[in-house]
Amino acid sequence: MKKPTNTAVPVLLIGATSDVGVQLAHEFARSGHPLYLTGRRPADLEPVASDLRLRYRTTVRIVALDVLQVDAARAVVRELRPTPHIAVCLVGLLGRQPDQEAHPELARAVIESNFLGPAAVLEAVAEMMAAVEAPTTIVGVSSVAGDRGRARNYYYGASKAGFTAFLSGLRQRLARSRTTVITVKPGFVATRMTAGMDLPSALTSSDADCARLIKRAVDRGQLVVYPWRWRMLMTVVGLIPERLFKQLRF
């Protein structure tokens, strides 16, 4: 298994305005990594960047990037200097399943935000990292919702399943290169995106817990990562026969 070096190399966070993105920025900055923080609204990242620079005395650059503007986003990634050695894609959109059933444009937004946009940008990241003569790491934050379709979120689940499959294929394509591709499936995380949802406390982590999970996966060079409770749960869920699974409501 390829493992990244411990050198404080540049890190690219795609979707850094998310709750987990902010916590992850602190995790990497605490270790001395220079950061690229990206988001659709760069002004939202200014307070975060100022805090990180002051607290950790590291370099933080803010970059405007929208994964839904694929060509522009890929161009932005290719122009980053110095080249990031670690890139983490945290972009995601949940939405409401009933709305997506009734309005195809909302379903399309979920699919493009969770799968098509991130995949296209990470292809550009992989291309960029191919020129780096050192170990590099790509991390995609997917979801346990992609492991098996459920009635309550099957558009979201389908988009995350696609992203998981993309990361698996990219991992295999780059297996003989210096790039490690990591898939992280955090399970329920208490963030702005899940605010108002009735989440089971035993299976719900904080944004800080999720950030630590991602940072640890990078440090250890892991490949497919779940919180341990979710790994056990999804193993069991995957074994349920479809004839029985379709009758369940959870």
Instruction: Please write down the HEC assignment for all residues of 30-61.
Output: HCCCCEEEEECCHHHHHHHHHHHHHHHCCCEE
pLDDT at 194: 67
Residue 250 lies in a domain: no
Residue 15 lies in a domain: yes
Residues 6+ away with beta carbon under 8 Å from 119? 162, 163, 166
Residue 1 lies in a domain: no
Number of domains in the chain: 1
* Cα–Cα distance, 78 to 126 (Å, whole number): 10
Residue 158 lies in a domain: yes
Residue 239 lies in a domain: yes
pLDDT at 68: 96
Residue 3 lies in a domain: no
Q: What is the pTM of this model?
A: 0.91
Domain of residue 168 covers: 11-245
Spell out, as residue ranges, where the chain has pLDDT lower than 50.
none
Q: Counting every residue, how long is the chain? A: 250
pLDDT at 185: 95
Instruction: Report the relative pairing of strands 11-14 and 86-89 from DSSP bridges.
Output: parallel
Burial of 113 (0-12, 13-18, 19+ CB in 10 A): buried
* Cα–Cα distance, 146 to 52 (Å, whole number): 33
55-62, Cβ contacts within 8 angstroms, sequence gap of 24 or more: 55/26, 55/29, 56/26, 56/29, 56/30, 56/32, 58/8, 58/29, 58/32, 58/33, 58/34, 59/34, 59/35, 60/25, 60/29, 60/34, 60/35, 61/34, 61/35, 61/36, 61/37, 62/37, 62/38
Residue 190 lies in a domain: yes
Q: Which three-class secondary structure string do you get for 183-244? A: EECCCEEECHHHCCCCCCHHHEEEHHHHHHHHHHHHHHCCCEECCHHHHHHHHHHHHCCHHH
Residue 33 lies in a domain: yes
**Apex 129 CA angle, 124 and 133, nearest 5:** 165
pLDDT at 193: 66
* Cα–Cα distance, 250 to 237 (Å, whole number): 11
Q: Residue 98 is part of a domain; what is its CATH number?
A: 3.40.50.720
